[in-house]
Amino acid sequence: MASAKSTFVPALLVIDMQYDFVHGSLAVPNATTIIDIVNSLLALPFATKIGTKDFHPPNHVSFAATHDKDVFSKITIYPPGDIKEERALEQVLWPVHCVASTPGSAFVEGLDHKALDSVIYKGTHPEIESYSAFQDPWHLATTELPKTLEGLGVTDVFLVGLAGDYCVKCTAMDAADFGYKTWVIKDAVRSVSEGGSEWEEMEKKGIHIVDSAQVRKLVT
């Protein structure tokens, strides 16, 4: 009798483990404490290990300096050339961070980035913010990520990295929307703000919140 063994093809997404998010202009609290855990997960036999980088032009729409406004104030953004009320999104204005090819955009020292099979760049268009590594918030375009995962027959997407309340959450939500069984490894994630609703929002979406010890048993 043929075996009914179900397919399990896990991918690890390492979100934005970059200098500026760990030590630099937009340092996430306690981000250094997850580097060793992320490295230990990078040593597991995932079918593929993909890093992401926030990689902005110097005049990016998400920078307070671009608008001559205060850091952490908010503006309304629209898709380029499509200023319609139903397309409006609220944008937090950040300090200048992860400018493409500057030291701030490099993978943080100590991260075993050589274990990554590929890197996805996001936020590269001056007028488009993209917290998700899959696509921009208006779904104008996707990155290479959906094609890469599909090409490898990935069934399960595991996420670690920074920041839990922005890029990890948005990428996890999209992973679920793209049909992947999605897992966020909580002890390998740090958020900008404490006590936010990101874990609840992800669980509500059917995303599995796990810890690295559980993942070590799943991916062997």
> Which CB atom, from 54 or from 136, has the smaller least distance to Zn ion?
54
Determine the interface stretch with Zn ion among 33-41, 52-60, 100-108, 114-122 (rule: CB under 5 A): 52-60
Q: How far apart are CA 122 and CA 151, in angstroms?
A: 20
CB-nearer residue toward Zn ion: 170 or 215:
170
Binding string, 126-165, against Zn ion, x = CB under 5 A? Answer: ----------------------------------------
Which residues form the catalytic set?
A: 16, 122, 167
Distance of CA 158 to the CA centre of its chain: 11
- The 95-124 contact track toward Zn ion, x by CB under 5 A, reads ----------------------------x-
Residue 167: CB atoms within 10 A of its CB come to 23
Site residue total, Zn ion (CB under 5 A): 2
**Nearest C-alpha neighbor of 160 from the set 180, 134, 136, 187:** 187
Q: Does 54 bind Zn ion (CB under 5 A)?
A: yes
Q: Which two tokens stand for residue 67?
A: 């608008």
Per-residue contact track with Zn ion, 164 to 193, x per CB under 5 A?
------------------------------
3-state secondary structure of 188: strand
The answer to whether the beta carbons of residues 161 and 94 sit under 8 Å apart is no
Least distance to Zn ion from the beta carbon of 132, Å? 12
88: its two tokens: 């409006």
d(CA 187, CA 151): 29
Residues found near Zn ion in the complex (CB under 5 A)? 54, 123
